[in-house]
């Protein structure tokens, strides 16, 4: 199978990484010297991404709410993990974990976060992963309710620490990346942006996240900064294990069957590391990327060395996603796929009302 847009060098590095061992189990440190920020990384997909970035040798800032804030937001089935514990685990994997408690609904808090990174890392930020999300409990409770029977506050709960915060973080991150002419912004979204899932507010928010990533790509590509939207498949997060997968499993249901073969929280992290390590990642800027497709392209597997993600929600929609990426993403001029770029942004930037 032909691997489109994939560097042979990065595939060789990824293969070596899977077979090389070192102190702390880190393997090949492909991101040594790079600085990353993963928002909402105390648990779940964010934590999995942060751990893999650490394993690749990066300095990783992780954010999360204080234990008191998490206790209010989460079901009591799940003890809020310690952000400091996660930072320590990142360091043990071979990187450097730095925990920052941050309320992403507070713009001043977010601005201070980026000021700190700029000061401590001498204006360097190579990777931003937009993952913070405050609506896990809200969408679970409202699932099955029609939008007109749901509290109006669901819109802000879903799209404040989510879409709006992703935009704000991307603004501050870009101010650090653009002057250095390098960077990668990954916005974690889901197939809920493609088809109905959880509810109206959720679907609109995820579709907007995908459009955010695509439109930012038009305005960042000339400065060598890539922006993509990442769709993990069903993921066996801590909460899923405590709820959907809990019990003896004698009683089967559709949701349980889906999550019994779910990907781990670290598969998305392996995909982010592969993207960040790929010198041709700008060819993917503006795209919706699924963990299923990236795992096949970059030869990524779960820790058993065999299993690859297979998102049932995206099955059969691959051509549609490809067509949507072709429409939304920046277009490269013929003959110079990366050096000289023609984007829709160029057509409008000298036009003023």
Residue spans of alpha helices (H) in the chain: 8-19, 44-55, 67-73, 83-93, 107-120, 136-142, 154-159, 165-177, 200-220, 238-242, 254-260, 267-277, 291-298, 318-328, 344-348
Identify which of 174, 201, 197 has the alpha carbon closest to the alpha carbon of residue 187: 174
Could you give the CA distance from residue 45 to residue 51 in angstroms, rounded to a whole number?
Answer: 10
Q: Cα–chain-centroid distance for residue 136?
A: 16
202 carries an active-site annotation: yes
> Do residues 201 and 184 make contact, with C-beta atoms less than 8 angstroms apart?
no
Cβ atoms within 10 Å, residue 91: 16
Say which of 202, 259, 345, 351 is annotated catalytic: 202
Q: 282: phi > 0 → left, psi -120 to 50 → alpha, else beta; which?
A: alpha
Taken as a whole, the chain contains a residue count of 353
Burial label, 340 (beta-carbon count in 10 A; 0-12, 13-18, 19+): exposed
Active-site amino acid positions: 202
């Amino acid at each position: 199978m032909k691997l489109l847009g994939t560097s042979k060098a990065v595939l060789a590095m990824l293969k070596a990484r899977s077979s090389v061992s070192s102190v702390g189990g880190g393997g090949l440190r492909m991101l040594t010297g790079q600085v990353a920020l993963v928002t909402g990384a105390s648990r779940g997909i964010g934590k999995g991404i942060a751990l893999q970035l650490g394993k690749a040798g990066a300095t990783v800032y992780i954010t999360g709410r204080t234990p008191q804030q998490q206790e209010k937001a989460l079901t009591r089935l799940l003890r809020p993990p310690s952000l400091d514990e996660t930072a320590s685990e990142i360091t043990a994997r071979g990187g450097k974990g730095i925990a920052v408690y941050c309320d992403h609904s507070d713009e001043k808090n977010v601005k201070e976060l980026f000021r700190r990174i700029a000061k401590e890392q001498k204006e360097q930020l190579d990777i931003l992963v937009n993952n913070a999300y405050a609506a896990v409990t809200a969408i679970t409770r409202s699932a099955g309710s029609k939008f007109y029977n749901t509290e109006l506050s669901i819109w802000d709960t879903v799209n404040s620490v989510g879409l709006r915060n992703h935009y704000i973080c991307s603004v501050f991150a870009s101010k650090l990346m653009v002057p250095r002419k390098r960077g990668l912004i990954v916005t974690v979204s889901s197939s809920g942006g493609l088809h109905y899932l959880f509810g109206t507010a959720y679907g609109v928010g995820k579709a907007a996240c995908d459009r955010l990533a695509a439109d930012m790509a038009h305005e960042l590509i000339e400065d060598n900064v890539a922006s993509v939207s990442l769709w993990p498949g069903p993921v066996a997060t801590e909460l899923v294990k405590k709820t959907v997968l809990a019990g003896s499993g004698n009683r089967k249901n559709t949701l349980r069957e889906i999550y019994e073969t779910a990907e781990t929280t670290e598969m998305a992290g392996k995909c982010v590391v592969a993207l960040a390590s790929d010198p041709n990642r700008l060819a993917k800027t503006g795209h919706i990327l699924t963990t299923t497709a990236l795992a096949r392209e970059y030869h990524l597997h779960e820790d058993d060395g065999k299993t690859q993600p297979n998102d049932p929600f995206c099955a059969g929609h691959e051509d549609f996603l490809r067509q949507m990426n072709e429409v939304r993403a920046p277009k490269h001029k013929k003959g110079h796929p990366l050096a000289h770029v023609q984007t829709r942004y160029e057509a409008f930037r000298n036009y003023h009302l």
